[in-house]
Structure 1
Amino acid sequence: MHFASDNYASVHPEVFAAMADVNVGHDAAYGADAATAAFDAAVAQEFGEAALGYPVFNGTGANVVSLMALSPRWGGVVASEHAHIHRDENGAPERVGGLKLLEVPAPDGRIDPASLDRWTPDIGDEHRAQPLVLSVTQSTELGTVYDLDALTALVSRAHALGMRVHLDGARLANAAAALGVSLAEACGGADMVSLGGTKNGAMGAEAIVVLAPDLRDRLAAELPHLRKSTMQLGSKMRYASAQLTALLTSRDESGDPLWLRNARHANARAARLRRELEPLAGDGTVRFTQETQANAVFVEMPRTLAARLREASRFYDWQAGSTPDTVEVRLMCAWDTSAEDCARLAAHARAQR
């Protein structure tokens, strides 16, 4: 079992079953199919009647298309120093979207509303990219979660400055599960969300969801063209739509949807992994560097220990540690991570320290 990313996890059986259900005969292409109509209905049920959903291939595509839809060509996108759009998308917002990214500090992954003031003096200056969009990640790249009051305050501040708000929701399900709220509530009033599926049990499906009612008419006309021109329009869309609909609507005997069950499990396993590693923190071998609120554990350890652990399980170095001989690593849990997986990794760490 690997702890590198929740992308490493297998596809949930209920998602596979949903894909099999639509794998019969012919159906219309490019979203004019019954499965995509069912996805549209699920989006309206989950996010409100005014919401619009657009399946896409991957999270980078969802982010870039969303940002292009929200900003004119002269616009800038304010984002955390750790944001996926800034660090891990190979310049796609700039290369494909033609948008300037405007970085703000976020030591725990969460943006403070006051940090937006770093870019507000540029408003109206024709020589500067205009800070017209704020991109927020929920849960954050550091495994932390915005509580609803904090996120609402941040979104409200951005709106007051005339900015639109995009939410990178690659792990929105994990945030909602941690907060005990719906997916819509976990967005905190954002205008648009990149809704993650692949990290939550899907085979390969993400979606752009328009949340702001005042954007509905414009984006209903523009987003189909934007999605196509950015190579994110799938011909056999029914298979992506079926995956997303299964996550939103497939329920167990208790009535919990699949997205919640998967996210709750992943979060619980991260909490378990942290508990298993706590004795090593107690004796000073390792040091936790962030709160464990969703499905990630960030921990600093000796580089030698990290190398030995990698002989049994993959995980990523996040950044250099506080001393030359240490490194901060990220350990991700997924819907299929077991308690035994967590115990095994921690036992190996204890044996190798």
Structure 2
Amino acid sequence: MPSTQRSFASDNYAPAHPAVLAALTAANVGHAGSYGADPWTERLQESVRHHFGEAATAYPVFNGTGANVVALTSMLPRWGAVVTSEHAHVHQDENGAPERVGGIKLLTVPAPDGKLTPGAIDRFVGDLGDQHRAQPLVVSITQATELGTVYSPDEIRAISDHAHAAGLRVHLDGARLANAAAALGVSLRETTTDVGVDVVSFGGTKNGLLFGEAVVVLDPDAAQGVDFVRKMTMQLASKMRFVSAQLTALLEDDLWRTSAAHANAMATRLRAALSPATTTGEVPDGGTPAAPSGLTFSQPTQANAVFAVLPRAVAEALRADFAFYDWAAAAPDPVTGDERVEVRWMCSWDTTPEDVDAFAAAVRTARFD
């Protein structure tokens, strides 16, 4: 049985959106061609071209790790390497899949706010042509980042221009691309194709899909043999219509934006409910007085994640009623010496204002002393 405990652990915890389930039911009629030779996958291609540009092609896969492995493997020769953030999902949370499955060397750089800068690429560009070094041929960024921050289109354009000038391609891990685009108020194309991204791993599972993501190739010259890589990495679905139907449901009628914008709004509500009152004595977004001073925020809330630091004992007490993850150990309280932890609170398409308010109330009434 599913847990009745309300989760702020991950948008992966949320159920599938009813519109996605309806699309699956509609696709579950009669026989259809396998391995993508079906009307649903053809319709998906039309939707992808509408959202990403006429040159875009989608390759549906089972999951986000698979999307990243397929994308990066198709973008690189055997001697190629990827420049990415120290926080990148491909580096921290995929159990070495890019290295083990794709044979890809990852070259990580510090990114305190989760975002790469053009200058960070230069750390490895000098290795180009050196036979003793893995060749940095792709830059991979995450939008929204693993720390909940969001690249502006101008920031991505600067990275793309810098990378392309050095002969590198640009991959975007878009597990939460919908949340970033909704937060920025831009189209999917405006934060990918129009700013020089070459290949996207487009996420669906964190935004209401039952399963499924897609590798979206924006520049056909940037990826080679995607069909073959997808098959050999075990990401080719025989009944692809059931992946494609879900992705199409997400893209059509802008369900991707509606769901992501709601998740973002719930994170903003949570942040406001736990933030200090304004100088006029009002509390942002209709919240109530702030949590005790033992709680601080460690990153800006720009999409659907809230990162906070609080006493470990408080985090453990809250977890009795609400699921969420510890992100990293934090420095002890400078006054009491108590152990503290950085936590991540995620909101999803089905998070309600009542969920947020109940959680915020629990945080505010927790014993911080």
> Under TM normalisation by the shorter chain, which class is it?
over 0.9
Paired residue for 1:47?
Answer: 52
Partner of 2:285: none
Query: How far apart, in 1, do the equivalents of 2:124 and 2:325 lie?
Result: 32
What displacement does 1:322 show? Answer: 2.1
Select between 340-349 and 295-304 the one with higher mean Cα deviation.
340-349
Q: Distance in 2 between matches of 1:149 and 1:56?
A: 30
Structure 2 distance, partners of 1:214, 1:72, is 13
**Distance across 2 between alignment mates of 1:184 and 1:204:** 23
Structure 1 residue identity aligned to 2:246: Q
**1:208 maps to 2:215:** yes
Which residue is 2:138 aligned to?
133
Residue 333 of structure 1, CA deviation: 0.4
What are the superposed Cα offsets for residues 108-150 of structure 1, whole Å, 9 maximum, x if unpaired?
0111111111111211110100110100000000000001111
2:169 alignment partner AA: R
1:348 pairs with 2:353? no
Distance in 1 separating the partners of 2:292 and 2:15: 35
Tell whether the 8 Å contact from 2:273 to 2:290 is kept in structure 1 after alignment. Answer: no
2:304 matched residue in structure 1: 295
Q: Secondary structure at the match of 1:278?
A: coil
How far apart in 2 are the matches of 1:152 and 1:316? Answer: 33
- What pairs with 1:33-182 in structure 2 (closer than 5 Å)? 33-182=38-187
Deviation at residue 184 of structure 1 after TM alignment: 1.4
After TM superposition, what 4+ stretches of structure 1 lie above 4 angstroms from structure 2? 279-282
Conservation of the 8 A alpha-carbon contact between 1:281 and 1:287: no
2:183 is the counterpart of 1:186: no
Inter-partner Cα distance in structure 2 for 1:58 and 1:282: 37
Residues in 2 aligned to 1:223 and 1:114: alpha-carbon distance in whole angstroms: 30
Aligned length: 343
CA distance in 2, matches of 1:308, 1:278: 20
Q: 1:254 matched to which residue of 2?
A: none
TM-score (norm 2): 0.91
Instruction: Point out where structure 1 has 5 or more consecutive residues left out of the alignment.
Output: 252-256
Amino acid at match of 2:342: E
Please name the residue that 1:243 is paired with. 246
Kept in 1: contact 2:290–2:364 (CA 8 A): no
Corresponding position: 1:332 with 2:337? no
Question: What stretches of structure 2 of length at least 5 have no aligned partner?
Answer: 1-5, 277-288, 333-337
- Structure 1 equivalent of residue 273 of structure 2: 276
CA distance in 1, matches of 2:291, 2:35: 55
TM-score with structure 1 setting the length: 0.95
Distance (Å, rounded) in 2 between the aligned partners of 1:150 and 1:192: 17
Whole-Å separation in 2 of the counterparts to 1:125 and 1:24: 56
Task: Return the offset for 1:281.
Answer: 5.9
Q: What is the aligned counterpart of 2:257 among 254, 260, 267?
A: 260
Q: Deviations over 1:296-327 (max 9, x none)?
A: 00000000000011101111111011226100
Among 291, 316, 320, the alignment partner of 1:311 is 320
> Cα RMSD over matched residues?
1.2
Higher helix share: 1
Cross-structure match for 1:195: 202
